[in-house]
Structure 1
Amino acid sequence: MEPILEVRNLTCGYQRLPVFTGVNLTLYPGQLSGLVGPSGCGKSTLIKAILGLVRPWEGEIWFRGKQLKPGVAPPKVGYVPQVETVDWSFPVTAEEVVMMGCYQNQKILPWQSKRERNIARQLLNRVGIEHVAHQPIGNLSGGQQQRVFLARALVGEPDIVFLDEPTSSSDLQIQHELLHLLADLNQQGLSIFLSTHDLNSVATHLPWVICFNHGLICQGEPIDIFTSAILEKTFGTEMVVFHHQDRILIASSGTSLRHQMQHNLPAILRKTASKTK
């Protein structure tokens, strides 16, 4: 299968400080991939470099067999930014946010056409929130806001969508619903690449994982990649991996020890009390 995107020996940084060096990465059509690593390790910079928002110091980016010019976005690509970068007080409705995606097609007229409104409504329906079309974006829940921006990213019928930390600042139910929605879109043929530091959500929902920390550490299926040695190298701390039936649960060694102490504390107290008597 021909790759949809290739990153070749990519190096990026800000001012004179490198963020990552010599990154090589290949994505294929129909792939659902998660980029995992600690905060500040360069995940967002890698996505922005691929999208042409950050100019790389060195290296090449290829899209469907054609090399992209530095600072130029690939065609037919969608992007969902981090929620922290969005001004949720801006006075627009969910439908208007989705229609903003139409301006990527160099629209000239300043008003929306009936066709664009229909497209926006169809996409909101596709992500399951058509009923909030006319509500202000700031009044929506975190999960609904994420779905609005996902619908916006789908306006141009992209070949691949990039999501930067889509599950950050979300509770477990919202994370679960969003990742299931992404899996459904992937089953419909959409290639998806998302970054996150939430290991357990990735282990449960994503078939392909890329461990990253100022460079590529390892990649593969979660069952092969999520080992204590690889995760310690990725996150810089000792990690404990539990396998339960077909699920993988991950915790730091300190967290695991605290849970074990809490679980055993009643028995320890009973033994102490008996010895006192």
Structure 2
Amino acid sequence: MIGDFIIGFTYIPRGFAYIMLPGLRRYVALPILINVVLFLSAFVLLLERLGSWLDGLLPHSLSWLSWLILPLLFLALSLGVFYTFGLVANLIASPFNALLAENLELQMGGRPPSAGAGFKATLRSALIGIATQLAALAYQLIRLVPLLVLFLVPIVNIAATSILILFSAWMLAIGYLSTPMGNHDMSFREVRAICAQRKGLVLGLGTGLVLLTWIPLLNLLVLPAGTAAATALWHEKLAHLRHPSGHSRP
């Protein structure tokens, strides 16, 4: 598990290296632009609302613990905001991310997408990618709302920070892996089934993605770099888990 976690994490720097390849740069510019707009919006929202949010989450009786609780709540709230905006960015950029994933996988010697080649095939892959990301978004939000409710409960909201980080790592990884796997007509249910077989790899990748969302400037590149990292992980470590019939192996 630990070994897989480390291996999964190492795909993050590889993702940055891949998006610099000459044949892939043209698929990177628009996702970066989308990320810049949404992350700047998230940053402005944090600056405007953070103080009032923290005051509301910390009862007066626990003000003496503010030195411990406030940093944890700050991490949780900033992660929640960036995570939510990241989901939206991934959805908007999904057709362009699908093209990036497709071309990177072909460069790595992988199979072409199930849809084949040509404009109709590209459009079909884009629509499948959007549908997969919508399914991923719905799956994540249904589980995220109860978790965020825990932040309204004093003391419990401290433990909720760790849970939120772990949840974000898992779901971010699955969301990014949905792009290359969706190129092969895999449903979101199939994506989850395959990821469940290699939890260490997926959590390692997701932890790297979470860290990227907290690092200024680098978080503007997380969309294309994360897509490239997820594509490489899929091609090298997960593709063989899919049964030739199109279903994940038990």
TM over 0.5: no
Higher RCO by CA contacts (8 Å cutoff, separation 6 or greater): 2
Larger radius of gyration: 1
Higher strand fraction (1 or 2): 1
Question: TM-score normalized by structure 1?
Answer: 0.24
Structure that is richer in helix per residue = 2
